[in-house]
Amino acid sequence: MSTSVEKTAPETTFKVLEKLRPATNAVLVPLLAVFTALVIGALVITAVGGDPIAAYKGLFEGAFGSAKALSETTVWATPYIFAGLAVALAFKGGLFNIGAEGQLALGAVAAAWVGYALPDVLGVTLPAVVHIPLAVGAGMLAGAIWGAIPGWLKARMGGHEVINTIMMNYIALNMTSFLLNGPMKDPSPLNVVARTPNIAEGARIPPIFPGFRLHWGFILALVVAGVVWWVLQKTTLGFEIRTAGANPNAGRYAGVNVPRTIVVTMMLSGILAGLAGTIEVTALNYRHELGFSVGYGFDAIAIALLGKTHPLGVVLASLLWGAMRNGATRMQFLTQIPVDVISVIQALILLFVAADAIIRWIYHIRAREERVVLTRGWGG
């Protein structure tokens, strides 16, 4: 009897390990990608005459060294979570949304307008219970429209969403430049910056703890991440999105209205990106300023890929991104290494996550996960 137990024990262990392998791989490869990028980043810092250990120490302190630092990290992470979810959701539907940046900017513009102008237009002071939902809703609506247009162009006309979302980024940038320099510019006599006036008190989402900038928008981001997971995994809509993404032909046979699903996916993606801008306006800056959103679209792509398009992964990747952006300021203060080095490290992270074969080759990780089709060529 005892011999059989001894015999099966290693087998069971092996089986458990086999079962765990995809899970450990899913975590291991991104972690090693981050590690490798940091090592190369250290080489870059050394090459420009800096001290990488001091730089990374400053980076870590700035990101996690105090309650204030932690609070700032979550503040930085909040828009990344929303925008990262936007890109991840689109990926699940087989769509590459490079347009998060434009959707985000227009969401911010719409939320800011409702925040500062609507009370004057209506001639009443709106209470927070009405004003906050209106502002947030306006931002979501703007994002939805800006996301749905390239979705519709793809579903009905076959225009590839990659180029169309990029073009709509530039259109959004021109539009916000026009609005913030013209009709929506803060009219106060001292202002020379392209920005809107401050939004009304009633439209502001408050901080959670007095004295810290950590705000309820961060909690909302976590909740939304949960909702996205639930929609994707537990609802018919989520099934349709995933099917249209994984195999549109099979989806068609299973009764999925693929064109409609494409439009809905891009609209939901736009809503999430719009929320990123909306929350920055209503919970943090209390106005929209030209240029604050630059780069978020590409960051969101990197975050979605680093998080393996899983909502939990997106949240963790966003926290990492937020920590790096936040800590970079202290790093620059202590070591004079420009914050831009973070962009290089983040680009390298993306490189290694996208080309995970390189990471597997460096660290001799054999087992491959199933290849996920993320995007398709110009044909369809």
Partner 1 sequence: MEWRRLGFIALIILILIGVVVMIGGGEIAPSVIVVSMIATTIAVATPLTLGALCGVYCERAGVVNIGIEGMMLASAFFGWFAAIYLNTILGMAPMPSLIMGVVAAILTGGLAGLLHAVLSVTYKVDQIIGGTVINILAIGVTGFLNRQLFFEKGSIFGGQVPHAPGVLPRIRIPLLADIPTVGRIFEQQPIAVSAIVLVLVTHFILFYTRWGLRTRSVGEHPRAADTVGINVARMRYANVIIGGLIAGLGGAYFTLESVPSFEPLMTNGRGFIALAAMIFGNWAPFGAWASALVFGAAQALQINLQFFREQIPSQWAFLQQAYIVGLVPYLLTMLILTGIIGKTTPPAADGVPYEK
Residue numbers of the site for partner 1 (CB under 8 A)?
A: 44, 48-49, 96, 98, 153, 157-160, 162-164, 166-171, 174-175, 177-178, 181-182, 294-295, 298, 301-302, 305, 336, 338, 340-341, 343-344, 346-348, 350-351, 354-355, 357-358, 373-379
The neighbouring-strand residues paired with 38 are none
Structural element, H or E, at residue 353: helix 341-354
Q: Which is nearer to partner 1, 74 or 269 (CB)?
A: 269
**Residue 289, φ and ψ in degrees, nearest 5:** -120, 140
Pick 175 or 237: Cβ nearer partner 1: 175
- Whether the CB-CB separation of 266 and 90 falls below 8 Å is answered with yes
Residue closer to partner 1, measured from CB, 198 or 329: 329
Q: In angstroms, rounded to a whole number, what is the distance separating the alpha carbons of residues 262 and 41?
A: 39
Q: How many CA atoms lie within 13 A of 147 on its CB side?
A: 37
**Region for residue 107 given its phi and psi (left: phi exceeds 0; alpha: psi -120 to 50; beta: otherwise):** alpha
Nearest to 294 by CA among 100, 150, 77, 164: 100
Closest CB to partner 1 among 187 and 379?
379
Nearer Cβ to partner 1 (171/237): 171
Torsion (CA) 74, 76, 77, 82 in degrees, nearest 10 = 120
- Nearer CB in complex with partner 1: 233/336: 336
Q: How near is the Cβ of 277 to partner 1 at its closest, in Å? A: 19
Q: Comparing C-alpha atoms, which of 100, 178, 182 is closest to residue 142?
A: 100
Question: Of 98 and 106, which CB lies nearer to partner 1 in the complex structure?
Answer: 98
Shortest distance (Å) from residue 212 CB to partner 1: 30
| Least distance between partner 1 and beta carbon 218 (Å) | 25
Minimum separation from the CB atom of position 374 to partner 1 (A): 5
Please report how the helices 258-279 and 236-246 are oriented relative to each other, as an axis angle in degrees rounded to 10: 110
Q: How far is the CB of 133 from partner 1 (least distance, A)?
A: 31
Q: How far is the CB of 151 from partner 1 (least distance, A)?
A: 13
Q: How far is CA 121 from the centre of its chain?
A: 33
Nearest distance in Å: CB 49, partner 1: 7
φ and ψ at residue 346, rounded to 5 degrees: -65, -40
Q: What are phi and psi for residue 340, nearest 5 degrees?
A: -60, -20
